[in-house]
Amino acid sequence: MAAFIAENYAQKLQLSKLADIAKMSESRFKHVFAKTFTTTPGRYITTIRLNAARRLLEDTDDLLADIATATGFFDQSHMTRAFKTLRGITPGEYRRRHKQ
C-alpha cells in the first residue's frame, strides 16, 4: 500500500478506494494501516504530499499554488495549513531557508 500511495499521492486518494485495493473493509483497513504505519491513512498521505512539496520548494521556482496542485492538495491554502501544522513554518518560509 505504501508503494501505491507513493506513486499516486497527487491523485485524490479516498479511503474506500485504498480499502478496496487492499481487499479489506474500510474499518479493517484503517486498523491494519494504523498498526503497520503508526499513523492514520490520511496523515500518512499528507506526509507523503508534504515531502514531495518540500522537494519542489527546494529544487524549483514553481509557484506555491502549482506545487500544491502537483502534490495533491486542494489548493495553496490547504497545503500551507498542512505544512505549517506538520513543519512549523509556511511553505514560503521553508523555501527561503532551504532553497539551493
Domains and CATH numbers, the chain: 42-100 (1.10.10.60)
pLDDT at 65 over 90: yes
| pLDDT band of 99, cuts 50, 70, 90 | confident
In the predicted structure, residue 22 carries a pLDDT above the cut 70 = yes
- Tell me: pLDDT of 42 over 90: yes
Terminal CA-CA length for the chain: 32
pLDDT of residue 78 exceeding 80, the answer is: yes
100 confidence band (pLDDT: 50, 70, 90): low
Cα-only R_g, the chain: 14
Distance CA 64, CA 75 (A): 9
**Distance between CA atoms of 38 and 44, rounded to whole angstroms?**
9
Question: What pTM does this model have?
Answer: 0.92
Q: Specify the pLDDT at position 52.
A: 98
Write the burial class of residue 35 (CB in 10 Å: 0-12 exposed, 13-18 middle, 19+ buried): exposed
